Amino acid sequence: MSSLTSRKLGRHIIKRKLQVLAAAAVYEVLVSFTYINLISPVFSYDGFVYNPLDVDKMVFIHLLALVPALWMAREVTQPSHVIEWVLFLTVYIPATIFPHYIFPQSYSPLVDFDLVLLVSFALASFVSRLPMLKLEPKGLREPTFLVLLYALTAILAVTISFGTGFNFKLASVSKVYDVRAQFTQAAVHSQFLGYLLPWLGQAVAPLLFALGLVRKEKGPIFVGLAMSTLAYSVTAFKTVLFSPFFLVGIKKMLELSKRRSGLMLPIWFSAAVLLCIGLDLVIGFPIFSALFLHRAIVTPGAVTGYYYEFFRNHPFEMLAHSIFRAFLHSPYRHGPSFVIANVYWPNRPDMEANANIWATAYADFGFAGMIVFSLLLGLVLKAFDTVSEDLDLGFSCMLAVFPAMVLANTALLTSLLTHGIGLVMLLLLLVPRRHLSSARLPVISPQVARA
């Protein structure tokens, strides 16, 4: 390769990286603006306060929040790229910035946390990019898989219906917390509901809907929508209600912008933030920011700060309310989500302050936990890519949407079993390759994606 060609390639790579950095920077500025000017003035009573920072500190944390954009994929060639991008946009950036607004007096300790979070995110990305395991899954025969899938759907739907006493409520978006509180109580008395409903709404229903979209069949789409509606009527999880829009968006993004699919993710997220801001300005009240941006973007970052602020001054949980409960005695009566809620939101006794993979990892084992669970996350992402091998890229990326959103609000181990990531991976392993082969889409060069 001549020196002239090398310089051209170098300039091309730099240009692509700068495009990703610019898109991430625009998104970062928009979410910070939304928090300062729309979310905090309305929700400061609820702990989402804004304390102005010195200019040098503000610039530093915003630059630190952009660092992972240097290695984020500009082109989505694996489903794990979707998960990484969603975690970067909804967890890493908010968790790096918003806690500084809430706890300005803890600037130096928070910078320590930010640096470990950066290393943790980098480790997860590095492990997920290691050479793929040669599993070469073949999947089941199509009739066998479809019988298994619809039988599983029927079993889940019937069991949930009887378990809830056929008590279904299609609550408005403003009433979701009432229904959610009822579901929490029902799950306490019937623990299996806490597993079956996420499996249905976050694994089986999205798979059916994605299957119908890729194969252009109305049957799976209808059943997937029906199961999403059933899950929403019991849990009132807004992510389940709006999941069809997310899946269609991912599919269209890959169809319209194959070479820039990764770049389009922060652009689309920025467009969504701008839309909410614009509608709020027209209405005169931040209702759309409160309904969508507050829960999906602001809360994961702010709650991370509350986890760190509490557990850096108190004993770690060490999974004593999880897989080590038989061996360890927790210093707390309840799990971390209830502990944080009781400390910082004492007037809301039924509240759970659920947090993302890194916040919960810190609550369990501190900085060491963040590193270890990031390595495990990287292995999970690699496994997700492996079981998706030879599948239509749009299909596997659609099924990566819910795992990404789950990891943004739940601990890793809980995400794998309770919230259905493990079930999604198992179903991907069993999906027949004949009619969902990656040959349906143009082959994208891995070398181009890495550039």
Residues 109-157 pLDDT 10s: 999 999 999 999 999 999 999 886 677 778 888 899 999 999 999 999 9
Looking at the fold, whether 259 and 352 belong to one and the same domain comes out as yes
Q: Is 248 exposed, middle or buried (0-12, 13-18, 19+ CB in 10 A)?
A: middle
pLDDT of residue 437: 63
Looking at the fold, whether 169 and 113 belong to one and the same domain comes out as no
Residue 202 has pLDDT above 80, yes or no: yes
The amino acid at residue 140 is L
CA distance 45 to 437: 52
Looking at the fold, whether 228 and 259 belong to one and the same domain comes out as no
Looking at the fold, whether 286 and 382 belong to one and the same domain comes out as yes
Domain total of the chain:
2
Q: Final residue of a domain: which of 242, 270, 288?
A: 242
What the block records as the tokens of 416 is 């794998």
9 compared with 13, residue with greater pLDDT:
13
Q: Please list the residues that pair with 437 across neighbouring strands.
A: 391
pLDDT of residue 290: 84
Residues 387-442 pLDDT 10s: 998 899 999 999 999 999 999 999 999 999 888 999 999 999 999 877 676 544 33
Beta-carbon contacts of residue 348 (< 8 Å; ≥ 6 apart): 341
Looking at the fold, whether 130 and 164 belong to one and the same domain comes out as no
Looking at the fold, whether 54 and 177 belong to one and the same domain comes out as no
4 domain-assigned: no
3-state secondary structure at position 82:
helix
5 domain-assigned: no
Looking at the fold, whether 273 and 419 belong to one and the same domain comes out as yes
8 compared with 381, residue with greater pLDDT:
381
3-state secondary structure at position 391:
strand
Mean pLDDT for the stretch of residues 232-243: 78
What does the mean pLDDT of the chain come to?
86
Looking at the fold, whether 160 and 126 belong to one and the same domain comes out as no
In this structure, of 158-167, 178-187, 290-299, the range with the lowest mean pLDDT score is: 178-187
Cβ-contact 57, 265 below 8 angstroms: no
3-state secondary structure at position 132:
coil
Looking at the fold, whether 111 and 32 belong to one and the same domain comes out as yes
> Domain residues for 292?
10-136+251-450
220 domain-assigned: yes
- Taking each helix axis from N to C terminus, what angle separates 107-128 and 79-87, rounded to the nearest 10 degrees? 180
pLDDT of residue 200: 93
pLDDT of residue 236: 67
Residues 33-45 pLDDT 10s: 999 999 999 999 8
The model's pTM is: 0.90
